[in-house]
């Protein structure tokens, strides 16, 4: 029996989810239309939470998808890919996200309250790690560095003249060093 040959694709990640102790969504980003409506997404999230919140394993197959997950204090982190996706790649994304958040929260425990206070950092970190389902980065140090740089970008209209001049000096210095 011949199995169909799958075309290689960079689109590895189908979704990144963070749920709380009750299975409620704190963060969800879907990269394809497997679950096109919010109602379908929430039903999938409840299903995934019910299947994984009492287990100690890290990988599950659910609804034809590969799910890697990790829990910490009062949060559940999920990275979802297709059933033929490499679990190690998905786990690298999950670990990068978790480690990046740990570093960004100043070595605090990654918990619900701290995460909610730093949602902009979470959004930036996920965007640095995955874009459109394509894995961009798996090194948490690089993610934290890039998020810090993007976080420092204050619009020109909100900067003082001294800050604008300092920024210009820095840009000139870096362009000359290249």
pTM of the predicted protein model = 0.78
In tens, the pLDDT along 125-135 reads: 999 999 988 88
Q: Which of 9, 13, 38, 177 is nearest to 91 (CA)?
A: 13
Its domain, for residue 43, covers: 13-146
Which pair of tokens denotes residue 64? 């034809």
Residue 178 in domain:
no
Residue 134 in domain:
yes
Average pLDDT, the chain: 83
Residue 164 in domain:
no
- Distance, in Å, from the CA atom of 47 to the CA atom of 39, rounded to the nearest integer, reads 12
Residue 71 in domain:
yes
- Distance, in Å, from the CA atom of 38 to the CA atom of 144, rounded to the nearest integer, reads 30
- Distance, in Å, from the CA atom of 11 to the CA atom of 86, rounded to the nearest integer, reads 12
């Amino acid at each position: 029996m011949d199995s169909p040959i799958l075309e290689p694709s960079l689109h590895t990640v189908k979704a990144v989810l963070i749920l709380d102790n009750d299975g409620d969504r704190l963060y969800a980003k879907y990269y394809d239309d497997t679950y096109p409506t919010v109602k379908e997404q929430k039903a999938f999230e409840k299903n995934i939470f019910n299947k994984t919140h009492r287990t100690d394993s890290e990988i599950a197959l659910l609804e034809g998808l590969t799910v890697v997950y990790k829990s910490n204090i009062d949060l559940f982190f999920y990275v979802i890919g297709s059933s033929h996706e490499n679990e190690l790649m998905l786990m690298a994304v999950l670990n990068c996200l978790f480690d990046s958040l740990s570093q960004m929260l100043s070595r605090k425990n990654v918990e619900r309250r701290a995460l909610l206070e730093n949602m902009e950092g979470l959004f930036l970190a996920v965007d640095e790690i995955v874009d459109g389902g394509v894995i961009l980065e798996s090194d948490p140090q690089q993610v934290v560095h890039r998020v810090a740089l993007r976080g420092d970008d204050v619009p020109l209209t909100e900067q003082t003249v001294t800050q604008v001049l300092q920024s210009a000096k820095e840009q000139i210095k870096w362009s000359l060093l290249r």
